[in-house]
Amino acid sequence: MTVNDDRVDILDTGTGEPLGTCHGPDQSGACPHADRDGIVACAGYRVASESAGPEYWHLYVPAGCQQCPLSWPMVASY
C-alpha cells in the first residue's frame, strides 16, 4: 500500500465546509486518528483529496466506518 502524504480535507456533509484535515492511512493502512473503537475520524463526513484522484472528491464515509477511505480499492468512473 502507498501512504498518501497529501492533505485530505474532512468536510461537513451539509455545507461542504472543512472541519479538519488528515494525511491518510499510516504504513499499516490504519487511520492514525481513529478513536478507541477503531472508528476513523472522517466517519459520517465527506472527504476531499485532489491528489488521491477524482473518485475521492466529496466521497461520503459511512458513520461507524473503521477503515480509512484512502485504503479502499476505488476505480475512477469519468
Choose between 6 and 47: higher pLDDT: 47
Q: Is residue 71 predicted with pLDDT exceeding 90?
A: no
Q: Cell for 40?
A: 476513523
Q: Mind listing the pLDDT tens digit for each residue in 34-65?
A: 999 999 999 999 999 877 777 777 889 999 99
Contacts by 11-15, CB closer than 8 A, 24 or more apart: 11/45, 11/46, 11/47, 11/48, 11/58, 12/45, 12/46, 13/44, 13/45, 13/46, 13/60
* Long-range pairs of 53-62 with CB within 8 A, sequence gap ≥ 24: 54/78, 56/8, 58/11, 58/16, 60/13
The confidence score (pLDDT) of residue 25 equals: 86
Return the pLDDT at 77. 53
71 phi/psi in degrees, rounded to 5: -100, 0
Would you kindly state where each structural domain of the chain is located, as residue ranges? 1-78
